[in-house]
Amino acid sequence: MLRTLKVYKRDGPKSESGPWRSPTHIGTCVRLTIGTNEPIKALSLLLTHRDGATAMCRPGVYNINNNHNDYAMMMYGNEEDGTPLTCIDGTNSQTVSTTALFPQFNVKETGPGTNRYTIGSDRFRYNVGADSKNLAGNPHPFTTLDQFEWSIESAGPELFKVHIPNMDAYWFLPDGPSQTHINIEKNQGRPAEVWRMVWVEDN
């Protein structure tokens, strides 16, 4: 029987065991999966730096907002497969994101340590996908019933960049009114390429 031990080493307090407290802590989290009288079965090291160096995203349910203008990423239950995702302007959207207006999103790791994730609505049947072979003709993330994989890079505490794995193809929200489509564009270091993903709970 396997057991999972999660040990934290923070900048302040010494190592401690117990449940995860924050997906954006400053320090090191080591997760060990072990069995009684058995060698270590798996080891994953998640490291988050103050300067936002590369770190892995913790799977879970998230509120997702563009960090440039705080617009909330949207997905509606009556949308059809292939509908481009939009962002909507909302005051304090994270505090009301459990309503139908501001949905939350399941971020699930597709393989341990791979930095590959599926992103989907926590209440509707759709995931977030893209046409990686035809970005020129369809340069938006969209609703899909398929299991599309994304890579998620840390850009600071609770801040991330989302892109198609092994491609320079990042989520970007251009300036515009509410209901502006999210684009997929090359990484140019723009503030609107950064997304604030606030962890809510495990999925």
In a shared domain, residues 68 and 22: no
In a shared domain, residues 42 and 88: no
Give Cα separations from 54 to 43, 161, 170 (angstroms).
18, 10, 15
In a shared domain, residues 22 and 65: no
In a shared domain, residues 133 and 41: no
Across-strand partners of 185?
Answer: 170
In a shared domain, residues 136 and 182: yes
**Domain for residue 73, yes or no?**
yes
**Domain for residue 54, yes or no?**
no
Q: Please give the pLDDT value at position 98.
A: 43
Confidence of residue 2 (pLDDT cuts 50, 70, 90): very low
Specify the pairing of strand 170-172 against strand 151-156: unpaired
Give the tens place of pLDDT for each residue, 58-68. 999 999 999 99
Lowest mean pLDDT among 70-84, 92-106, 141-155: 92-106
DSSP string, 12-36: SS--EESS---TT-SEEEEEEEEET
Counted domains in the chain: 2
Lowest mean pLDDT among 6-15, 102-111, 146-155: 6-15
Give the tens place of pLDDT for each residue, 132-146. 999 999 999 999 999
In a shared domain, residues 85 and 114: yes
In a shared domain, residues 145 and 106: yes
In a shared domain, residues 192 and 106: yes
